[in-house]
Amino acid sequence: MSIKFGLLALLERGAMYGYQLRAAFEESTGGTWPLNIGQVYTTLTRLERDGQVRSLPESDAGQRPYEITEAGRAELAMWFATPISRTDRPRDELAIKLALALTTPGVDVRAVVQTQRAATMRTLQEYTRLKAKSDASTDLPWRLVLDAMLFQAEAEMRWLDHCEASLVRHRPAPATTRPESAPATTQPAPAPSEEEARQR
Amino acid sequence: MNVLELRDVHRTHGTGDTAVHALRGLSLQVRPGELIAVMGPSGSGKSTLLNLAGGLDRPTRGEVRVEGRVLAELSHRGLAEARRRGIGYVFQAFNLLPSLTAVENVALPLELDGVSVRKARREALRSLADLELTHLADRFPDQMSGGQQQRVAIARALVGPRRLVLADEPTGALDSETGEAVLRLLRTRVDAGAAGVLVTHEARHAAWADRVIFLRDGVVVDSSGPLAQPEQLLAVPGAGA
């Protein structure tokens, strides 16, 4: 998503100037998306150029508030009505990493899966701690952001479990087996994986 | 002192070629105020661990200590007493007695232990109040939702002097909001000084624990404690335009 829609949504509440917008943006994303004031002003300038916001006269303190226009409102309504597409998100590096781990000789895929699992679990624990600290009555927007991150991390855990189960089913031998074509004599013996080392 | 300690615990079922090694040298310490989650695929040893911790099973080798006492060294009677006074269980099925009200269910373990009915009721009410469940005290199980029953089961698991709670998939049949409420409660109780071991296959539930240990084939393959710098999670990569 772009900052643009965030600012339009905030201006829908009423006219605001740059610093107010930045504070409101950070508040509504629970500080997960820090903005610098330059990004706010660049975006406002672009929105004004496209006729989606209008600048109002400066206040005595020298602050220039902006208000949303009808065109801006239509753009915002369109954004809320359109689902986010998976293709808008960056490629999943983790999926690619696991696929490569599976086909790269000498890589213990289960150890790769487990390393990721522990890291994702840590993330889940931290989000949960933040959620436990938040107040259900006052922090609902922040909780929704946290829930989104929690569910994503949970989905990743499930996917990792699924990957591991598939590995067990399809490759019962230790994951250090090499492809037939690799001339064993020219390859050094594989170092024990972390997992094997732990089991000793 | 650790409330629960497992020292190099092995549990083997059967002998020779058909032997199944459910646990192979597991060590674990749980302190007061600490909640440990145990995750792992089916057959990884999760339930065996819980059964050993609760004195329902004995290790083939190694030691299980609850509040400093080695369970295997206790007499049959001593073990029963340790289980009754020291350890609380929460199961997937709530296991409340249908003919007793919530407060009677919570008071039951104390009454079985010889505490007077009046005193047991007072303690049970206190346990329910700690968990903000006073309004459910006089309801029978069939007058409560699954989530409410499970919260009452947690109150029962930790009534009186018991400081160790063992939970086996306690959120199994509950929807995600209710499951979360149950875990929030377990967390609160542990924060107040109990020690807890939670077996679950739900990562989101395990995340309520201070430490998550991953079992596979009877050994701990990994564990996950708190991050040194939690704020790093909130730096969203690529946050910008």
DSSP state of A62: S
ipTM of the complex: 0.72
- How many whole angstroms separate alpha carbon A145 and alpha carbon B149? 30
Q: Which of A117, A128, A195 sits opposite B207 (nearest CB)?
A: A128
| A66, A48 Cβ separation under 8 angstroms | yes
Search chain A and give the residue with CA nearest B237.
A33
pLDDT range class, residue B58, cuts 50, 70, 90: very high
* Chain A nearest C-alpha distance from B47 (Å): 19
Chain B residues at the A interface, defined by Cβ less than 8 Å, are: 39, 41, 184, 187, 202-204, 206-209, 212, 214, 219, 221-227, 230, 233-236, 238-241
> Which residue reads 């407060």 in tokens?
B103
- How high is the pLDDT of residue B91? 79
Q: Is residue B21 part of a domain?
A: no
- Which residue do the tokens 């024990």 mark? A192
DSSP assignment string, B6-65: EEEEEEEES-GGG-EEEEEEEEEEE-TT-EEEEE--TTSSHHHHHHHHTTSS--SEEEEE
Query: Residue B190 is part of which domain span?
Result: 33-55+85-225
Provide the pLDDT for residue A181: 45
Report CA B117 to chain centroid distance, whole Å.
26
Block residue for tokens 């335009």? B241
Q: How far apart are CA B147 and CA B170, in angstroms?
A: 10
Task: Quote the pLDDT of residue B234.
Answer: 52
Closest CA relative to residue B184, chosen from B205, B159, B164, B156:
B205
Closest CA to A154 of A178, A127, A134, A130: A127
- Residue A200: the pLDDT is 40
Indicate yes or no: CB of A124 within 8 angstroms of CB of B241: no
Is B8 or A101 the better-scoring residue by pLDDT? Answer: B8
pLDDT at B168 over 70: yes
Number of domains in chain B: 1
**Is position B22 within any domain?**
no
> Which of B60, B68, B55 lies closest to B23 in space, CA to CA?
B60
Closest partner residue to A33 (CB to CB) among B41, B230, B239 is: B239
In a domain, B77, yes or no: no
- For residue A125, give the nearest of B219, B224, B239 by CB distance: B224
Distance CA A70, CA B113 (A): 73
State mean pLDDT over B18-46.
91
Q: How far apart are CA A184 and CA A53, in angstroms?
A: 67
Compare all CA atoms of chain B with the CA of A111 and give the residue at the minimum distance: B221
**Ranges of residues in chain A whose predicted pLDDT is under 50:** 172, 175-200
Residues of B in contact with A114 (CB under 8 A): 214, 221-222
Residue B15 lies in a domain: no
Least confident of A143-157, B60-74, B142-156, B223-237: B223-237
Across the interface, whether the CB atoms of A122 and B203 are under 8 A apart is answered no
Asked if A32 lies within 8 A of B236 by C-beta distance, the reply is yes
| Higher-pLDDT residue of B37, A82 | B37
For residue A99, what is the enclosing H or E element? helix A93-103
Distance from CA of A92 to the nearest CA of B (A): 13
**Domain-located, residue B62:** no
Q: Report the alpha-carbon distance of residue B124 to residue B162 in Å, rounded.
A: 13
Q: What is the CATH number of the domain that holds B136?
A: 3.40.50.300
- Does the pLDDT at position B163 exceed 50? yes
pLDDT at B157 over 70: yes
In Å, how far is A186's CA from the nearest CA of chain B? 32
Scanning A113-152 for CB atoms below 8 A from B yields 114-115, 117-130, 132, 150-151
The size of the A-B interface in CB pairs under 8 A is: 81
**Which residues from A are below 8 Å from B209, CB to CB?**
125
Residue B9's pLDDT band (boundaries 50, 70, 90)? very high
How far B232 CA sits from the closest chain A CA (Å)?
A: 10
Q: How far is A185 from chain B (nearest CA, A)?
A: 32
Question: Using a CB-CB distance cutoff of 8 angstroms, which residues of chain A are in contact with residue B212?
Answer: 121, 125
CA-nearest residue to A6 within chain B is B241
pLDDT at site A34: 80
Whole-Å CA distances, B187 to A80, A184, B182? 37, 53, 9
Record: contact B219-A199, CB cut-off 8 A: yes
Mean pLDDT of B156-172: 85
A94 at the B interface (CB within 8 A)?
A: no
Contact list in B for residue A125 (CB cut-off 8 A) is 207-209, 212, 224, 226-227
Q: Name chain B contacts of A157, Cβ cutoff 8 Å.
A: 203
Q: Is residue B240 part of a domain?
A: no
Residue A86 pLDDT: 54
CA B228, distance to chain mean position in Å, is 26
- pLDDT on residue A177: 45
Pick the more confident residue, B31 or A138.
Answer: B31
The answer to whether residue B68 is domain-embedded is: no
In a domain, B205, yes or no: yes
| pLDDT on residue A84 | 67
